[in-house]
């Protein structure tokens, strides 16, 4: 692994545009359950119950959705960024991060120190709630207080519309600005680093392919094999956080 760390660190130092792409594997190292892994959310709930169309059309589905969302939020709200999050935030501080594209909804990158301007949240965020009718935004804790007091499917206090965590559900359109910008940044980078993603969820998983086809080096740091291993210039099969932290330690030394 030491040789791989050395090569990735040197590539970062030499690159002009570094894009980091992050998946659930990094969040699990901060104690946040994965949706798909054994013991994850889909072991407890049927994914079909959370289709966006069902959420809109059924009060019962909205109540089930909010129960699931509350379980997820309870594991997220007090979670702390791990060594991988901190390493990526330091990349930005060192001026070596063009942008961070994340599939995660937990807000840990901001706790670690990344700026909102540098982060593209492809799947939204669980840290806020929005009204699907008037667009009013609520802090998540404000809505959680209402759930604790007995509301099963809270409504907007301004217009009475349907409230939903600001995440992207099955069947819901991807955020236009973030998706378009992620494609643009992927196509224009010279180094694309995947951290903690199995690269199976689309369209997000297309980003490393876009980067590679445009001529970028592709690095994958993930515990298990991914759908893009055959395209990668270098693969580190290890825990995402410690591996990324080791890379940043070497980057600091090279830049000193």
| Residues 6 or more apart in contact with residue 140 via CB below 8 angstroms | 73, 77, 126, 127, 128, 129, 165
Task: Report the candidate in 177, 159, 69, 164 with the shortest Cα–Cα distance to residue 120.
Answer: 177
In this structure, are residues 1 and 236 in contact, taking their beta carbons and an 8 Å threshold? yes
DSSP H helices in 15-49: 24-28
Q: Is 109 a catalytic residue?
A: no
Among 4, 109, 123, 202, the active-site one is 123
Q: Are strands 163-167 and 124-131 parallel, antiparallel or unpaired?
A: antiparallel
**Which two structure tokens, joined as six digits, stand for 181?**
């910008």
Name, in order, each residue with C-beta under 8 angstroms of 164's C-beta and a sequence gap of 6 or more. 55, 65, 129, 130, 132
CB 106 within 8 A of CB 76: yes
| Other Cβ atoms closer than 10 A to 202 | 10
Give the separation between CA 66 and CA 72, rounded to whole angstroms: 10
Give catalytic residues, as residue numbers.
123
């Amino acid at each position: 692994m030491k040789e791989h760390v050395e090569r990735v660190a040197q590539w970062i130092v030499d690159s002009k545009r570094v894009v980091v792409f992050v998946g659930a594997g990094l969040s699990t190292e901060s104690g946040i359950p994965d949706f798909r892994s054994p013991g994850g959310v889909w072991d407890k709930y049927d994914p079909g119950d959370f289709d966006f169309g069902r959420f809109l059309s059924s009060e019962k589905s909205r109540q089930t959705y909010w129960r699931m969302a509350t379980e997820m939020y309870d594991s997220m709200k007090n979670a702390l960024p791990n060594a991988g999050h901190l390493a990526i935030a330091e990349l930005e501080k060192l001026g070596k991060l063009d942008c961070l594209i994340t599939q995660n909804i937990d807000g840990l990158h901001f706790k670690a120190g990344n700026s909102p301007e540098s982060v593209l949240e492809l799947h939204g965020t669980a840290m806020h709630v929005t009204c699907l009718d008037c667009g009013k935004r609520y802090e998540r804790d404000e809505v959680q207080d209402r759930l604790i007091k007995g509301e099963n499917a809270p409504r907007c206090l301004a217009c009475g519309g349907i409230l939903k965590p600001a995440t992207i559900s099955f069947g819901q359109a991807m955020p236009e600005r973030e998706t378009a910008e992620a494609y643009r940044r992927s196509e224009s980078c010279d180094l694309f680093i995947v951290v903690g993603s199995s690269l199976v969820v689309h369209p997000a998983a297309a980003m490393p392919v876009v980067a590679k086809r445009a001529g970028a080096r592709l690095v994958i740091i993930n515990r298990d094999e991914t759908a893009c291993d055959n395209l990668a210039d270098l693969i580190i099969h290890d825990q995402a956080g410690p591996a990324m932290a080791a890379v940043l330690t070497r980057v600091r030394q090279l830049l000193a």
